[in-house]
Amino acid sequence: MDAEITRLAEKAWEELSGWLGKTTLANNVVMAINALHEQGKGSNVEAIAADVSMDGYHYTRAQLAAMNDPVTAIHRRGAAFTFDADGFCKLVERLHQPVSKGTIIYAPSFEHAIMDPVEDSIAILPTTKIVVFEGNYVCLDREPWRSAAQLMTELWFVEVDREVARKRLVKRHVASGICQDEQAARERIRTTDFLNADDILENRLPVKERVKCC
């Protein structure tokens, strides 16, 4: 994995490109890019890369409850239609434009303690040249996701074995309190998470890199 992270970081460093992937890999690639930038420049150098998760664009629980079918919307939270795709696209469009020296662009994050997004909690500084976008639907071949993806230099896709993903999700859902026990977690995975995964796999834009994670 270290060799893969180094290779991808060096590639992004060379092209100053946008990036997408899953959280751990995205964070590690950003750290590696910034380490490359800092080489020989001391410790006070501004970071040149930042990662932004699309999780901050989850609709709030209140917004889901106000939908035409709130029961389905709440149960299917995590599906593409439960995200503010237009808001995400607007962020990508804004980051694609030139910025002045003092401009700071803010993005939302997702706070698991309250199970809702927090506005303007990620600061993207004018010194940032590489933005790594991370999330399930960044390369979805459906508007407005498609329009956002077309503004990115490259799309990268992280592949995880389905059974490995199932085991990780069971643990995550129970640990986070989303599900009371493993049986409930497995049912949620069957009726929500894997439906989302199938949507992604069946409707994915062409990607430049496919990264296998174990």
What is the pairing mode between strands 130-134 and 49-53? parallel
What is the per-residue pLDDT for 101?
85
Q: The tokens 């410790």 sit on which residue?
A: 43
- Token pair in block for residue 105: 């662009």
Give the distance, in angstroms, between the CA of residue 171 and the centroid of all CA atoms in the same chain.
20
Say how far apart CA 29 and CA 21 lie, in whole Å. Answer: 10
What is the per-residue pLDDT for 45?
80
End-to-end CA distance of the chain: 9
Mean pLDDT (the chain, rounded): 89
What is the per-residue pLDDT for 19?
35
What is the per-residue pLDDT for 15?
53
Altogether, the residues listed in the chain come to a count of 214
- What would the mean pLDDT of 66-92 be, rounded to a whole number? 97
Q: Exposed/middle/buried for 63, CB within 10 Å: 0-12, 13-18, 19+?
A: middle
Instruction: Decide if 110 contacts 118 (C-beta within 8 A).
Output: yes
Say how far apart CA 12 and CA 36 lie, in whole Å. Answer: 11
Say how far apart CA 138 and CA 148 lie, in whole Å. Answer: 8
- Is the pLDDT confidence value at 18 over 50? no
CATH class of 2-68+83-161+204-213: alpha beta
| Digit-coded pLDDT (tens) for 153-208 | 999 999 988 998 899 899 989 988 889 999 999 999 999 999 999 999 999 999 99
- What radius of gyration do the chain's Cα atoms show? 18
Instruction: Decide if 53 contacts 109 (C-beta within 8 A).
Output: yes
**Which of the four pLDDT bands, split at 50, 70 and 90, describes residue 20?**
very low
Percent of the chain beyond pLDDT 90? Answer: 66
What is the per-residue pLDDT for 21?
38
- Which of 12-16, 56-60, 98-102, 122-126 is the most confident on average? 56-60
Say how far apart CA 178 and CA 169 lie, in whole Å. Answer: 11
| Digit-coded pLDDT (tens) for 33-42 | 988 888 877 6
What is the per-residue pLDDT for 26?
86
**Which of the four pLDDT bands, split at 50, 70 and 90, describes residue 125?**
very high
- Token pair in block for residue 123: 């600061």
- Is the pLDDT confidence value at 60 over 50? yes
Write down the pTM of the prediction: 0.84
Q: Which amino acid is at 111?
A: E
